[in-house]
Structure 1
Amino acid sequence: HEALMALLRDLSPGEWQQPTACTGWTVRDVAAHLLGDDIGKLSAARDGYRAGWFEVNHWEELVVAINTANEQWVRAFNRISPQLLCEFLDSTGPQVEDYFATLDPHAMGGSVDWAGPEPAPVWLDLAREYTERWHHQQHIRDGVGKAGMTEPRYLHPILDTFLRALPHTFRTVNAEPGTLIHFQVTGPAGGDWFLLREPMQWQLYATTDRQPTTMVTVDEESTWRLLTRGIDREMVKAKLRVVGDEAMGFHLLNAVSIIA
């Protein structure tokens, strides 16, 4: 929160109007969207206010509904000045942090949609909230040419959260039980993740003694931009190094860790 506020308060009037990777949105629009995230979380989760929720039956409906709601919110905030937007964010941000601090991270909560339809632990939903705010702040930083928050203490948790989409991404990939894919993300914030085919599903592990049947290597920036649909997949494909089953390794390109 502190980094976001320092970033926004340092922007010139022209920088607020710079385009971002979010198609059709300026820096100011992305900031308004972040305010919407805060207000939505406080209203629905903290205060139990459910008006305006929508019923959906499948992923495509969810994407359309969320995108429509986001566009309506951003358009409605066109009359709000950057100064007032900062004041609102400076109020809601600490309230969201205080609310998150009241939660039991080990309790079970709702699903994290891009990780699958099953109930997920609260810590994963909190991690998703972190990724939402981090990657939109990156959009702002990219838009105004400011350095990103890519130090390992910020980016490694992002990668670790985003890659939890892999079991869901690979759910339709048939493989013999025991098949193991080693994903190696290079760079200071990178690491190793292991996707194992078990009898009924794929499961992600941080470590394993097994020998991988396929190894996929990609750099950290390409990874997070791929998983947030912020880079052309063909550009990432050109950077991927796959040893073993190429079709299985390149299936990483289908992964997405946002609702899009």
Structure 2
Amino acid sequence: MSLHPTLQPYADAWTHSIDAISELVQPLAEGEWNRRTPCPAWSVRDVVSHVIGLDCEMLGDPRPIHTLPRDLYHVTNDQQRYMEMQVDVRRHHTAPEMTSELEYVIIRRNRQLRNESRDPGTKVRAPFSTELTLEESMRGHAFTVWVHEQDLRAALGRPGNLDSPGAQVARDVLLDALPAIVAEKANAPRSSAIVFDVHGPIEFLRTIRVDIQGRGTLETAPALGPAATFTLDWETYVRLACGRVSLDAAADRVKAEGDPELTGAILRNFTVTQ
């Protein structure tokens, strides 16, 4: 048996992004690994360490036994402590150590994917001692690695792959989060519609309809007389949704029409992940 067809797009997206990351960091001088990225508080080395750590966990490797320093002021909760462990344990690794470990992990993960024959619904280990289906795990991982590829591109001044297989996965993940953002977090009016018009390397027009019970659904049909309309480019959409830019810094790239209280509430709750 081979990889289930449902899982293939996520494997392809991960492969495309991880190869791009490897290509980006392979030629870096030692000092360039310390460049700041848009990922809050993390350098290039930190982001690559995080990606390595995530793939090690996808492989089922044990987590490192490591004590975090007390002066990591950006680490304030258990989730951040969990994520920081794989990062901090590599903070003093040299450039050759980082690239060698990355390449070795890529080789192992490619072998794992070639031999993967489990059903997409198989339960697998996830962070924080939880479980996900294999499909959920691979989808989330493809999304995360693409987002971190974009972090590295921003830090290194190497834009690209905004329409890659990973970007397609990211679009779907972020769109899936919109109904809850609009209907629950922003408390949009019942029996209303909110439109998102996104242009650029990835384009889409989507409507969130809020029903009489206050539940939000994602639709492709345009809405007549929406309560609010947002027009922005794909890169800005991603950076806002992933917490890579503040609302104030992106204000000139987002056109929001409709009730100011509603549009403000939606944008304040727009971040899906950091």
- CA distance in 2 between partners of 1:71 and 1:120 (Å): 21
2:138 aligns with one of 114, 126, 133: 126
Shifted more, 226-235 versus 144-153: the winner is 144-153
Tell me, yes or no, if the aligned pair for 1:22 and 1:139 is still in contact at 8 Å: yes
Tell me, yes or no, if the aligned pair for 1:166 and 1:204 is still in contact at 8 Å: yes
| Equivalent position of 1:142 in the other structure | 154
| Equivalent position of 1:232 in the other structure | 246
Residue type of the alignment partner of 1:195: I
**Is residue 151 from structure 1 mapped to residue 163 from structure 2 by the alignment?**
yes
- CA distance in 2 between partners of 1:194 and 1:242 (Å): 14
Q: C-alpha deviations, 1:230-252, integer Å up to 9, x for none?
A: 11112333432233334333313
Query: Does the C-alpha gap of structure 1 residues 152 and 8 become closer, same or farther in structure 2, counting only changes over 3 Å?
Result: closer
**Is residue 4 from structure 1 mapped to residue 17 from structure 2 by the alignment?**
no
- CA distance in 1 between partners of 2:189 and 2:238 (Å): 26
- CA distance in 1 between partners of 2:112 and 2:263 (Å): 40
| Equivalent position of 2:205 in the other structure | 192
In the TM superposition, 1:34-45 aligns within 5 A as 34-43=51-60
Q: Which runs of 5+ in 2 are unaligned?
A: 1-17, 66-75
Identity %: 22
Residue type of the alignment partner of 1:231: V
| Equivalent position of 1:176 in the other structure | 190
SS in 2 for 1:217: strand
Tell me, yes or no, if the aligned pair for 2:205 and 2:222 is still in contact at 8 Å: no
- CA distance in 2 between partners of 1:191 and 1:120 (Å): 29
Q: Which runs of 5+ in 1 are unaligned?
A: 53-62, 114-118
Point out which structure has higher relative CO (alpha carbons under 8 A, 6+ apart): 2
| Equivalent position of 2:44 in the other structure | 27
Residue type of the alignment partner of 1:32: S
Tell me, yes or no, if the aligned pair for 1:194 and 1:204 is still in contact at 8 Å: yes
Residue type of the alignment partner of 1:187: G
Residue type of the alignment partner of 1:241: K
TM-score (norm 1): 0.76
Shifted more, 238-247 versus 187-196: the winner is 238-247
Query: Does the C-alpha gap of structure 1 residues 247 and 123 become closer, same or farther in structure 2, counting only changes over 3 Å?
Result: farther
- CA distance in 1 between partners of 2:99 and 2:42 (Å): 17
1:249 aligns with one of 252, 263, 266: 263
Residue type of the alignment partner of 1:42: L
SS in 2 for 1:77: coil
Query: Does the C-alpha gap of structure 1 residues 185 and 103 become closer, same or farther in structure 2, counting only changes over 3 Å?
Result: farther
Tell me, yes or no, if the aligned pair for 2:21 and 2:152 is still in contact at 8 Å: no
TM-score (norm 2): 0.73
Shifted more, 244-253 versus 130-139: the winner is 244-253
2:99 aligns with one of 86, 101, 110: 86
- CA distance in 1 between partners of 2:267 and 2:99 (Å): 38
Residue type of the alignment partner of 2:142: Y
Q: C-alpha deviations, 1:167-220, integer Å up to 9, x for none?
A: 22231414223x221111111212122211133521122x12653513211111
Residue type of the alignment partner of 1:87: S
Q: C-alpha deviations, 1:111-164, integer Å up to 9, x for none?
A: x99xxxxx9875454332112111112222222222232235443432232222
